[in-house]
Amino acid sequence: MKLLIWRMKVLSSNFAASKSTKITLIKSKMKKIFSLILVMMAIAIPMIADDSKSNPSTRTIGFDLYDVATIPTVHRAPMRICVEANYDALSQTITIQYDGEATGEVSLYRNGDLVDSSVEINTSFMVEESGYYTLEIITDSWSAIGSIEI
Protein backbone atom coordinates (compact mmCIF):
# COMPACT_ATOMS: atom_id res chain seq x y z
CA MET A 1 0.00 0.00 0.00
CA LYS A 2 2.85 2.34 0.79
CA LEU A 3 4.33 1.69 -2.61
CA LEU A 4 1.11 2.66 -4.36
CA ILE A 5 0.87 5.99 -2.46
CA TRP A 6 4.49 6.79 -3.26
CA ARG A 7 3.84 6.19 -7.00
CA MET A 8 0.81 8.47 -6.90
CA LYS A 9 2.87 11.20 -5.26
CA VAL A 10 5.61 10.83 -7.89
CA LEU A 11 3.09 10.94 -10.71
CA SER A 12 1.31 13.97 -9.32
CA SER A 13 4.56 15.88 -8.71
CA ASN A 14 5.75 15.14 -12.28
CA PHE A 15 2.40 16.21 -13.62
CA ALA A 16 2.60 19.50 -11.74
CA ALA A 17 6.18 20.07 -12.88
CA SER A 18 5.31 19.45 -16.54
CA LYS A 19 2.30 21.78 -16.23
CA SER A 20 4.45 24.59 -14.81
CA THR A 21 7.02 24.18 -17.59
CA LYS A 22 4.22 24.41 -20.16
CA ILE A 23 3.00 27.61 -18.54
CA THR A 24 6.49 29.14 -18.57
CA LEU A 25 6.87 28.18 -22.25
CA ILE A 26 3.55 29.83 -23.06
CA LYS A 27 4.55 32.92 -21.07
CA SER A 28 7.87 33.22 -22.93
CA LYS A 29 6.12 32.85 -26.29
CA MET A 30 3.59 35.51 -25.27
CA LYS A 31 6.45 37.85 -24.29
CA LYS A 32 8.05 37.32 -27.70
CA ILE A 33 4.78 38.00 -29.52
CA PHE A 34 4.10 41.08 -27.40
CA SER A 35 7.63 42.36 -28.05
CA LEU A 36 7.16 41.79 -31.79
CA ILE A 37 3.89 43.74 -31.74
CA LEU A 38 5.58 46.62 -29.87
CA VAL A 39 8.41 46.76 -32.40
CA MET A 40 5.95 46.75 -35.30
CA MET A 41 3.96 49.59 -33.73
CA ALA A 42 7.12 51.60 -33.05
CA ILE A 43 8.03 51.31 -36.72
CA ALA A 44 4.51 52.04 -37.99
CA ILE A 45 3.74 55.12 -35.84
CA PRO A 46 6.19 57.51 -37.59
CA MET A 47 4.74 56.54 -40.98
CA ILE A 48 1.85 59.00 -40.90
CA ALA A 49 0.74 60.20 -44.31
CA ASP A 50 0.99 63.91 -45.07
CA ASP A 51 -0.93 65.20 -48.08
CA SER A 52 1.54 67.96 -48.91
CA LYS A 53 4.42 65.48 -49.07
CA SER A 54 2.55 63.18 -51.46
CA ASN A 55 1.95 66.05 -53.92
CA PRO A 56 5.28 66.73 -55.68
CA SER A 57 4.13 70.16 -56.88
CA THR A 58 3.66 71.48 -53.32
CA ARG A 59 6.55 72.87 -51.27
CA THR A 60 6.44 73.99 -47.65
CA ILE A 61 7.74 77.42 -46.68
CA GLY A 62 9.52 77.57 -43.32
CA PHE A 63 9.07 80.54 -40.97
CA ASP A 64 11.32 82.23 -38.43
CA LEU A 65 9.16 83.39 -35.51
CA TYR A 66 9.87 86.48 -33.41
CA ASP A 67 8.26 87.77 -30.24
CA VAL A 68 7.26 91.41 -30.69
CA ALA A 69 7.62 92.34 -27.01
CA THR A 70 11.06 90.79 -26.45
CA ILE A 71 12.86 91.89 -23.29
CA PRO A 72 16.60 91.21 -23.63
CA THR A 73 17.10 90.19 -19.97
CA VAL A 74 14.38 87.51 -20.01
CA HIS A 75 15.29 84.13 -21.51
CA ARG A 76 12.21 82.34 -22.81
CA ALA A 77 11.56 79.10 -24.61
CA PRO A 78 11.02 79.31 -28.39
CA MET A 79 7.47 80.17 -29.43
CA ARG A 80 5.27 77.37 -30.79
CA ILE A 81 2.88 78.98 -33.24
CA CYS A 82 1.08 76.75 -35.73
CA VAL A 83 1.35 78.74 -38.97
CA GLU A 84 1.98 76.93 -42.24
CA ALA A 85 2.60 78.20 -45.77
CA ASN A 86 2.69 76.07 -48.91
CA TYR A 87 3.50 76.86 -52.52
CA ASP A 88 1.55 74.88 -55.12
CA ALA A 89 3.30 74.89 -58.51
CA LEU A 90 0.23 73.65 -60.41
CA SER A 91 -2.05 76.47 -59.32
CA GLN A 92 0.87 78.92 -58.77
CA THR A 93 -0.42 79.97 -55.35
CA ILE A 94 1.07 80.48 -51.92
CA THR A 95 -1.44 79.49 -49.23
CA ILE A 96 -1.04 80.49 -45.58
CA GLN A 97 -2.92 78.57 -42.86
CA TYR A 98 -3.07 79.63 -39.22
CA ASP A 99 -5.28 78.10 -36.54
CA GLY A 100 -4.69 80.56 -33.70
CA GLU A 101 -6.67 83.51 -32.41
CA ALA A 102 -4.31 86.35 -33.33
CA THR A 103 -5.17 88.77 -36.12
CA GLY A 104 -2.56 90.42 -38.24
CA GLU A 105 -1.32 91.44 -41.64
CA VAL A 106 0.47 89.32 -44.24
CA SER A 107 2.78 90.86 -46.85
CA LEU A 108 4.32 89.17 -49.89
CA TYR A 109 7.58 90.56 -51.30
CA ARG A 110 9.35 89.55 -54.53
CA ASN A 111 13.06 90.38 -54.58
CA GLY A 112 12.47 93.00 -51.86
CA ASP A 113 9.51 94.73 -53.57
CA LEU A 114 5.96 94.53 -52.13
CA VAL A 115 3.79 92.42 -54.43
CA ASP A 116 0.62 91.87 -52.39
CA SER A 117 -0.73 92.08 -48.84
CA SER A 118 -3.73 90.91 -46.85
CA VAL A 119 -5.28 91.89 -43.52
CA GLU A 120 -6.11 88.24 -42.72
CA ILE A 121 -3.51 85.61 -41.86
CA ASN A 122 -5.41 82.76 -43.56
CA THR A 123 -4.99 83.88 -47.16
CA SER A 124 -3.68 82.90 -50.60
CA PHE A 125 -1.49 84.80 -53.05
CA MET A 126 -1.21 84.20 -56.80
CA VAL A 127 2.43 83.96 -57.91
CA GLU A 128 2.89 84.40 -61.66
CA GLU A 129 6.57 85.34 -61.99
CA SER A 130 9.65 83.54 -60.76
CA GLY A 131 11.91 85.09 -58.17
CA TYR A 132 12.81 85.13 -54.48
CA TYR A 133 9.58 85.57 -52.48
CA THR A 134 9.42 86.60 -48.83
CA LEU A 135 6.31 86.28 -46.65
CA GLU A 136 6.00 88.51 -43.61
CA ILE A 137 3.28 88.04 -40.99
CA ILE A 138 2.92 90.74 -38.33
CA THR A 139 0.50 90.46 -35.38
CA ASP A 140 0.24 92.29 -32.05
CA SER A 141 2.22 89.64 -30.16
CA TRP A 142 4.41 87.87 -32.75
CA SER A 143 5.81 88.14 -36.25
CA ALA A 144 7.09 85.60 -38.74
CA ILE A 145 9.24 85.75 -41.85
CA GLY A 146 9.55 82.99 -44.43
CA SER A 147 11.02 82.85 -47.90
CA ILE A 148 11.00 80.65 -50.99
CA GLU A 149 12.65 80.82 -54.38
CA ILE A 150 10.37 80.00 -57.30
Whether residue 86 sits in one domain with residue 33: no
CATH number at residue 108: 2.60.40.3080
| Amino acid symbol at 138 | I
Q: What's the number of domains the chain is made of?
A: 2
pLDDT above 60 (res 75): no
Query: Which domain, by its residues, includes 111?
Result: 51-149
CA distance 115 to 150: 14
52-64 pLDDT, tens digit each: 445 566 677 777 6
Mean predicted confidence (pLDDT) in 124-143: 89
Q: Are residues 21 and 41 both part of a single domain? A: yes
Same domain for 75 and 127, yes or no, is yes
Residues 96 and 67 in one domain: yes
Query: How far apart are alpha carbons 91 and 126 in whole angstroms?
Result: 8
- What single-letter amino acid sits at 100? G
